[in-house]
C-alpha cells in the first residue's frame, strides 16, 4: 500500500490508514479482553452466591435426615459425599487459576480489586504448561484425570437409582469432555479445543466457569435429594410393570412370546368404545378404575384377533386409541392332571401331598377318590396316606359347564420308607476322638428323603475289637459301652449297629451301621 510509484503524500496517507487500522484492532482486542474479564467477575460472584445457597440446602437435608431418617438419611449422606468431592475439585481448579496468574505475573489492582483484564493477552502460558505438540504434558494429563475423577466420584455416589437418571444426564452434559469437531471437520481433544491458543483471561474465565459448573452440580443434586425439580427426578412409583403376551393362551411345548412394559392405569372415562365394529355400552362396561370389561362369545378352536378402539375427548376433539389383541380357543378338556408334589411314587404311612386338577374345570367341580386319599387346604390339594398294598389308583371325575361329566384315573406305586443312615455326632464313618465317641449322640437320618419325618433312636449295639458287643438303650453309650470303649487301642474300628428308631407314623427299618476309627 505504501510502495509503488505513489507520491510522497499518498504514501503518507496510506501509512496513516495502516496505523489507524492497527489501533482499531488493538482497541477491539482490549474490549474483547475486558469482556472476558467482566464475564469472569460475574461467574465469581455467582459462585459465592451459589456456595452460600448450597450450604443452606445441605443443612436443610441434614435437618430432615434427623427428623425423618427413613426418607432423608440416605439422601443426606449422598449430599455430604457430593459436597466433599465438589469441594476438592473446586479447590484444584483454584490452584490452576493461581498458577496461571503466577506464570503471567498478573496481580489484582489494590484500588479496583480487579485483575488487569486488558493486559492478560498472553496465549503461551497454558500452551507451554499443558501441551507439547499434539499431546498433553504431565500437567495436562493431570488436569484431564482430575476432571474425569470428579465425574466418576459423582456418578458412583449417585448410583443406579432411576430417580436420579435425569440429574446424571444433565451432569454429563455439564462436564462433557469428548472430542469436539472444529469448523474444518477435524476432531480436536476437549482440552486442546477449549484452552490451547487462548488469551490468559479467556482461559482464566473458563476455569471460573468450570467452578460454577461444580457449584451448580451441587445445587442441582441437593435439590433432587430434597425432592425439588431443579434437575427433573424420574420416579417410577406410580408405574406398574404390565405383561403383554402375544396371545392369551399357549400350547404345551410352545415358547412364551410377549413383552413387559411400564405403564399407569388412567382412570379416565372414555366417550366411546367399540370392539370388532360393534359399539359397547359404556355404562355397564367401565369399572371404577377406568378399565373396560369385555363380554362376547368366542369363536371356534384356534387363534382369534380382537380389534377395536377407545375414544376420548381431548382439547375438545375426539381422540381414538386403537385396541389390538388376540386370544386362543382350545378344545374342551377330556383328561385330568394328577401328579405327586414330591415324587412319582407315594410312601407308606406318611402324608404324601398331591395336586389334582382337571384342565379347564374349576376345583369345586372336580372329585378325586382313592384308598387313603383326603382333601387338604388349598386349590386342588390332597393328601395321600397309603397303608397296605403295592399300588393305589386315583379316580378323578369332572363336571363340565353343560352338566356332562368326564373321568380319568392314574396309578401310583406304594413304597416303604427307606432304611435310614446310622450316625454318631453326625458322622456315618471316618475318624473321631475317643472322648467324642464316648459322649456322642447316635442318630438315624433319612438322607435324601423329601418328607419331614423325624426319627428317634430307641436302642443300638456297639462292638469294640476284643470286647463283646454291648446293647444300649436310647441314643447314647451306657456305662458298659464306655468301659469297653476305654479298652480300645488307637486306630481301632468301632462298630455301632442294629440301630433301631421310631417315627410318629410308619414303622422304620434298622439304620445302616456306623464304623468309626479312634483317632487317639
Its domain, for residue 347, covers 336-415
Are 82 and 172 found together in one domain?
A: yes
Are 316 and 367 found together in one domain?
A: no
Long-range pairs, 140-144, Cβ under 8 A, ≥24: 140/191, 143/96, 143/191, 144/177, 144/190, 144/191
Domain for residue 467, yes or no?
yes
- CA distance linking residue 483 with residue 434, whole number of Å: 12
State yes or no: pLDDT of 451 exceeds 90: no
Are 490 and 370 found together in one domain?
A: no
- CA distance linking residue 299 with residue 305, whole number of Å: 10
pLDDT band at 25 (very low <50, low <70, confident <90, very high): very low
Are 429 and 500 found together in one domain?
A: yes
Domain for residue 233, yes or no?
no
Are 188 and 83 found together in one domain?
A: yes
- Residue ending a domain, among 304, 329, 354, is 329
Are 50 and 109 found together in one domain?
A: yes
Better pLDDT: 303 or 138: 138
Output the pLDDT for position 87.
Answer: 95
- CA distance linking residue 138 with residue 472, whole number of Å: 83
Output the pLDDT for position 28.
Answer: 40
Output the pLDDT for position 316.
Answer: 58
Are 313 and 365 found together in one domain?
A: no
> Which of 250-259, 310-319, 353-362, 428-437 has the weakest average pLDDT?
250-259
State yes or no: pLDDT of 498 exceeds 70: yes
- CA distance linking residue 363 with residue 399, whole number of Å: 10
pLDDT band at 24 (very low <50, low <70, confident <90, very high): very low
Domain for residue 107, yes or no?
yes
Three-state secondary structure call for residue 487: coil
Are 70 and 151 found together in one domain?
A: yes
> Which of 31-35, 140-144, 430-434 has the weakest average pLDDT?
31-35
Number of domains present in the structure of the chain: 4
- Residue ending a domain, among 374, 393, 415, is 415
**Average pLDDT over every residue of 344-356:** 87
Using the structure block, give the residue that is written with the C-alpha cell 470428579: 150
Are 475 and 387 found together in one domain?
A: no
- Helical axes 200-226 vs 165-174, angle rounded to 10°: 180
> Which of 46-60, 129-143, 327-341, 403-417 has the weakest average pLDDT?
327-341
- Residue ending a domain, among 196, 226, 256, is 226
Domain for residue 232, yes or no?
no
Name the pTM for this structure.
0.47
pLDDT band at 34 (very low <50, low <70, confident <90, very high): confident
Rounded to the nearest integer, the mean pLDDT of the chain is 82
Output the pLDDT for position 502.
Answer: 92
State yes or no: pLDDT of 158 exceeds 80: yes
Are 428 and 409 found together in one domain?
A: no
State yes or no: pLDDT of 29 exceeds 70: no
Are 389 and 325 found together in one domain?
A: no
For residue 191, what are the CA distances in angstroms to 44, 121, 137, 199, 202? Answer: 22, 19, 12, 15, 14
pLDDT band at 506 (very low <50, low <70, confident <90, very high): confident
Amino acid at each position: 500500500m505504501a510502495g509503488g510509484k505513489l507520491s510522497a503524500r499518498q504514501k503518507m496517507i496510506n501509512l496513516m490508514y495502516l496505523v489507524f487500522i492497527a489501533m482499531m484492532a488493538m482497541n477491539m482486542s482490549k474490549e474483547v479482553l475486558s469482556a472476558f474479564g467482566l464475564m469472569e467477575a460475574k461467574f465469581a460472584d455467582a459462585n459465592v452466591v451459589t456456595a452460600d445457597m448450597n450450604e443452606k440446602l445441605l443443612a436443610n437435608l441434614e435437618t430432615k435426615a434427623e427428623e425423618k431418617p427413613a426418607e432423608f438419611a440416605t439422601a443426606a449422606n449422598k449430599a455430604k459425599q457430593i459436597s466433599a468431592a465438589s469441594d476438592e475439585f473446586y479447590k484444584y481448579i483454584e490452584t490452576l487459576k493461581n498458577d496461571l496468574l503466577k506464570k503471567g505475573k498478573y496481580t489484582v489492582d489494590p484500588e479496583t480489586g480487579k485483575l488487569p483484564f486488558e493486559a492478560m493477552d498472553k496465549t503461551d502460558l497454558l500452551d507451554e504448561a499443558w501441551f507439547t505438540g499434539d499431546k498433553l504434558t504431565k500437567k495436562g494429563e493431570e488436569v484431564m484425570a482430575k476432571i474425569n475423577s470428579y465425574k466418576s466420584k459423582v456418578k458412583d455416589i449417585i448410583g443406579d437409582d432411576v430417580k436420579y437418571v435425569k440429574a446424571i444426564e444433565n451432569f454429563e452434559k455439564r462436564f462433557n469432555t469428548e472430542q469436539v469437531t472444529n469448523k474444518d471437520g477435524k476432531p480436536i481433544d476437549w482440552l486442546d479445543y477449549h484452552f490451547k491458543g487462548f488469551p490468559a483471561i479467556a482461559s482464566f474465565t473458563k476455569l471460573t466457569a468450570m467452578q460454577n459448573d461444580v457449584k451448580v452440580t451441587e445445587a442441582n443434586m441437593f435439590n433432587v435429594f430434597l425432592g425439588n425439580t431443579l434437575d427433573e427426578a424420574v420416579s417410577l412409583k406410580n408405574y406398574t410393570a404390565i405383561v403383554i403376551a402375544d396371545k392369551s393362551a399357549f400350547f404345551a411345548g410352545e415358547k412364551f412370546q410377549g413383552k413387559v412394559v411400564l405403564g399407569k392405569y388412567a382412570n379416565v372415562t372414555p366417550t366411546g368404545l367399540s370392539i370388532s365394529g360393534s359399539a359397547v355400552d359404556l355404562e355397564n362396561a367401565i369399572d371404577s378404575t377406568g378399565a373396560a370389561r369385555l363380554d362376547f362369545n368366542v369363536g371356534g378352536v384356534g387363534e382369534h384377533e380382537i380389534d377395536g378402539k377407545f375414544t376420548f375427548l381431548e382439547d375438545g376433539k375426539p381422540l381414538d386409541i386403537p385396541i389390538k389383541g388376540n386370544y386362543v380357543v382350545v378344545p374342551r378338556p377330556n383328561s385330568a392332571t394328577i401328579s405327586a408334589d414330591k415324587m412319582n411314587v407315594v410312601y407308606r404311612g406318611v402324608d404324601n401331598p398331591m395336586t389334582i386338577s382337571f384342565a379347564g374345570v374349576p376345583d369345586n367341580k372336580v372329585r378325586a377318590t382313592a384308598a387313603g386319599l383326603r382333601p387338604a387346604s388349598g386349590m386342588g390339594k390332597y393328601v395321600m396316606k397309603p397303608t397296605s398294598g403295592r399300588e393305589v389308583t386315583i379316580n378323578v371325575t369332572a363336571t363340565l359347564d353343560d352338566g356332562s361329566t368326564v373321568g380319568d384315573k392314574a396309578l401310583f406305586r406304594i413304597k416303604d420308607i427307606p432304611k435310614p443312615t446310622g450316625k454318631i455326632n453326625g458322622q456315618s464313618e471316618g475318624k473321631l476322638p475317643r472322648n467324642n465317641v464316648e459322649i456322642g449322640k447316635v442318630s438315624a437320618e433319612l438322607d435324601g428323603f423329601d418328607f419331614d419325618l423325624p426319627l428317634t433312636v430307641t436302642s443300638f449295639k456297639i462292638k469294640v475289637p476284643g470286647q463283646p458287643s454291648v446293647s444300649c438303650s436310647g441314643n447314647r453309650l451306657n456305662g458298659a459301652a464306655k468301659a469297653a470303649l476305654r479298652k480300645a487301642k488307637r486306630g481301632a474300628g468301632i462298630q455301632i449297629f442294629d440301630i433301631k428308631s421310631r417315627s410318629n407314623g410308619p414303622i422304620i427299618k434298622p439304620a445302616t451301621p456306623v464304623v468309626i476309627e479312634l483317632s487317639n
